[in-house]
Amino acid sequence: MAQQSLLGFTYFPTLWHGINGGILNQTSTYTLDATGEKAATVFQIPADGNITKLGFRTATVTTGDTLKVGLYTLDASGDPTTTAYKGMVAGTQVVADVDDNTYFNVTLGTQATSVVKGDKVALVIEYNSYVAGSMVITGVSTTGNIWAGFPYGDLYTTLWAKQNTLLFATIEYTGGVYYPTLGILPASEGAGSIAYNLNTATFDEYGIRINIPVPARAVGIWVALALAVGADFEAILYEGTTALKTVTYDGDMAVTAGGRLLFLFFPTTQDLTANTDYYIAIRPTTTNNVTFYSFTASSVAAAAQFHGGAGAYRVKRLNQGAWNVSETTIIGQMGIILDAFSDGVGGGGGMIVNPGMNGGLNG
């Protein structure tokens, strides 16, 4: 089987939709504190089937109330209508005053039946019957900027206003199945970050697992990092604990102390064997802090909604020892840069399709 070069590069997992810095929790845009107000994310249905549950996450809850969550059609302007999608009846959720930073996975009153892949719909969160609620629904923010074209957010106060910020949300199908949905991060437990350096006593190296079920060729690593002054580091591709490729980075090259995307290329390419666990990681080489970004899903199943699949989870280790691979619901904000895939000649390779539960490119 021969590697066939792309006309450039691709990323796995792909760059996160519209985010050019480290991921954060948006805790102000989607404030619902009056009757009739609604928060929404507009997206395309990722797969045929029946949708049974929709999930969301609160930020600060000043005064609790009962919300309802549902799927609705769009009008000619791309804003949500009040017409339920595919026979859906919205589900309701009581949110208490103490339910700050809480994830709710809400069962629909009636499932959305026989949804059609590619349909454009709105996931809408609103008060069931407003009493005195005042709360914020969590969306995605960043240390840089967000430029969302589609999918996009929408907020109704007295009229609909489209937003760059997308809600953190989950879309569950019959049987507890989730499908990759570009831009709709299943960050049910929110976004987070970890600062560490060469002498951090807990873990001094963080990264993600990579497993691609077709032969591919790696040329580098992309990652979102915040770097303290002089925070030198190495970006490393491993098989097990054996370093295959290393890129060194001088922290004095950082353009800002805030989180930014870095694209780091190996001096030579590295062939990747199909169905093999690799790790890409950031290892500081000074006592100046590197900050690594991630989000946490509620379950491995829900993490599969992420467009890198549930298998691209965070890993960590201390003093170049064994990898801790237990954080299977935490997705690190980084990926491998590829420039070739096998053509499958002489083997069983086939067309590359969307990542599934194993977090790879299924061939």
Given the candidates 1.10.150, 2.50.20, 2.60.120, 3.40.50, the CATH classification of the domain at 25-184 is 2.60.120
Class of domain 3-16+192-342: mainly beta
Q: Give all strands (DSSP E) within 143-289, no chain letters.
A: 152-156, 160-163, 169-173, 191-196, 205-210, 216-227, 233-239, 242-249, 260-272, 278-284
| Residues 260-277 pLDDT 10s | 999 999 999 999 999 999
Same CATH topology for 3-16+192-342 and 25-184: the answer is: yes
Cα angle 274-275-277, degrees, rounded to a multiple of 5: 110
| Residues 264-322 pLDDT 10s | 999 999 999 999 999 999 999 999 999 999 999 999 999 999 977 778 999 999 999 99
Peptide bond into 215 cis (omega under 30): no
| Residues 34-84 pLDDT 10s | 999 999 999 999 999 999 999 999 999 999 999 999 999 999 999 999 999
Domain ranges of the chain: 3-16+192-342, 25-184
Q: Does residue 296 contact residue 192 with C-beta atoms inside 8 Å? A: yes
- Residue 18 predicted with pLDDT over 80: no
| Residues 23-32 pLDDT 10s | 889 989 999 9
In this prediction the pTM is: 0.90
pLDDT the model gives residue 346? 59
- Residue 65: beta bridge partners? 95
Cα–Cα distance, 169 to 212 (Å, whole number): 26
The most distant pair of C-alpha atoms in the chain lies apart, rounded to whole Å, by: 67
Q: Does residue 145 contact residue 118 with C-beta atoms inside 8 Å? A: no
